């Protein structure tokens, strides 16, 4: 434990909880000015609140102890997200010399929780059969465009008419999502029957846009209803399906990286790998000794 105290002289105490609230308000404004997404801001603020709930003083030793706490209670992905939040807060406070290092995890040689082509087609058929065209098209859009669920709910009828949706992310980076012609035609016929010439495509029964959390919940409901594995029926699984199918049909990985909005092509390379179930099936087909 002594090694954790090497930089303990770097301290920035919060005088009172009121000062801490004011400090977090300033930090929130700092994040907004950096064009960070709303969900990222919420996560960053939660991480800093959690730190000061556990430790009354900001110091290098307490930061290391916080990292140990995270490692004991959370998965690596969550740990690294909160480490980034802490480092961003240190930057906001102009504190140097005690940045936390990210946790390295062994890269998997396979994809996990990817819906198979057969299950995707089965789910679409069930939704269409039951007349649930709202989720039939929602599932189809995610698997045919690679759109994130937070982006799906932003698609409007005008985008369908154009055949693409331009999105702007943090740092004012733009990305274009292309909608295949067949999907555009089917969607236009559907929304014309619904008498919705303008506005968002995906609306709930109250006429308001679907929420990402609502979509996640409904997909789990459909998984149980149709006897599917709920572990592979979630929004990002269809984005994985799009990427896998794109590669399997000879698509260029650099273009795929652009379509998915990845900052690095290395992130996209995972789709060159087989899913864990595909690997298991391949081993069973080959190994007979």
CA dihedral 207, 212, 218, 220 (to 10 degrees): 180
Tokens of 243: 């990427």
pLDDT of residue 171: 54
pLDDT of residue 108: 54
CATH class for the region spanning 2-92: mainly alpha
Question: How far apart (Å, rounded) are the C-alpha atoms in residues 135 and 117?
Answer: 17
CB 19 within 8 Å of CB 56: no
pLDDT of residue 201: 96
Tokens of 93: 């406070």
Positions annotated as catalytic residues are: 148, 170, 236, 239, 262, 271
Angle at 60 between CA 57 and CA 64, to 5 degrees: 100
Return the number of other C-beta atoms located less than 10 Å from residue 33's C-beta: 8
pLDDT of residue 6: 30
Helix extents (H) in 132-229:
133-145, 149-152, 157-162, 181-193, 212-225
Question: How far apart (Å, rounded) are the C-alpha atoms in residues 44 and 49?
Answer: 9
Which of these, 14, 103, 102, lies nearest to 52 by C-alpha position? 14
Which of these, 76, 28, 32, 68, lies nearest to 48 by C-alpha position? 28
pLDDT of residue 265: 80
Return the number of other C-beta atoms located less than 10 Å from residue 145's C-beta: 22
The CATH architecture of the domain made up of 117-284 is Orthogonal Bundle (1.10)
pLDDT of residue 51: 93
pLDDT of residue 19: 46
Say if 2-92 and 117-284 have the same CATH topology: no
Question: How far apart (Å, rounded) are the C-alpha atoms in residues 65 and 59?
Answer: 10
pLDDT of residue 11: 43
pLDDT of residue 20: 52
pLDDT of residue 212: 93
pLDDT of residue 253: 86
Question: How far apart (Å, rounded) are the C-alpha atoms in residues 3 and 282?
Answer: 47
Q: Which residue has the tokens 């819906």?
A: 115
Question: How far apart (Å, rounded) are the C-alpha atoms in residues 190 and 197?
Answer: 11
Residue pLDDT tens, the chain, 289 long: 333 333 333 444 433 334 455 588 899 999 999 988 888 999 999 999 999 999 888 888 899 999 988 988 888 889 999 999 999 999 999 988 888 998 876 555 446 678 989 999 999 999 999 999 999 999 999 999 999 999 999 999 999 999 999 987 655 678 899 999 999 999 999 999 999 989 999 999 899 999 999 999 999 999 999 999 999 999 999 999 998 888 888 888 888 888 888 877 877 877 776 655 665 665 676 566 6
The residues spanned by each domain of the chain are 2-92, 117-284
């Amino acid at each position: 434990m002594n090694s954790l105290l090497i930089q303990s002289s770097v301290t920035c105490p919060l005088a009172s909880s009121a000062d801490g609230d004011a400090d977090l308000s300033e930090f929130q404004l700092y994040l907004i000015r950096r064009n960070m997404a709303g969900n990222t801001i919420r996560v960053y603020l939660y991480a800093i609140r959690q730190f000061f709930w556990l430790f009354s003083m900001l110091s290098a030793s307490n930061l290391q102890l916080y990292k140990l706490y995270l490692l004991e209670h959370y998965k690596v992905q969550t740990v690294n997200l909160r480490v980034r939040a802490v480092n961003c807060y240190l930057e906001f406070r102009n504190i140097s010399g005690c940045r936390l290092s990210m946790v390295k995890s062994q890269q998997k040689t396979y994809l996990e929780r990817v819906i198979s082509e057969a299950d995707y087609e089965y789910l679409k058929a069930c939704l269409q059969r039951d007349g649930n065209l709202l989720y039939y098209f929602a599932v189809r859009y995610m698997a045919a465009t690679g759109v994130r669920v937070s982006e799906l709910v932003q698609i409007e009828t005008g985008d369908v008419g154009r055949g693409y949706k331009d999105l702007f992310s943090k740092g004012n980076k733009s990305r274009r999502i292309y909608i295949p012609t067949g999907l555009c035609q089917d969607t236009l016929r559907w929304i014309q029957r619904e008498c919705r010439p303008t506005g968002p495509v995906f609306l709930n029964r109250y006429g308001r846009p679907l929420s990402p959390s609502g979509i996640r919940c409904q997909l789990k409901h459909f998984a149980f209803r149709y006897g599917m594995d709920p572990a592979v029926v979630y929004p990002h699984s269809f984005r994985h399906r799009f990427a896998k199918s794109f590669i399997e049909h000879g698509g260029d990985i650099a273009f795929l990286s652009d379509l998915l909005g990845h900052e690095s092509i290395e992130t996209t390379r995972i789709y060159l790998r087989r899913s864990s179930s595909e690997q298991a099936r391949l081993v069973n087909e080959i190994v007979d000794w």
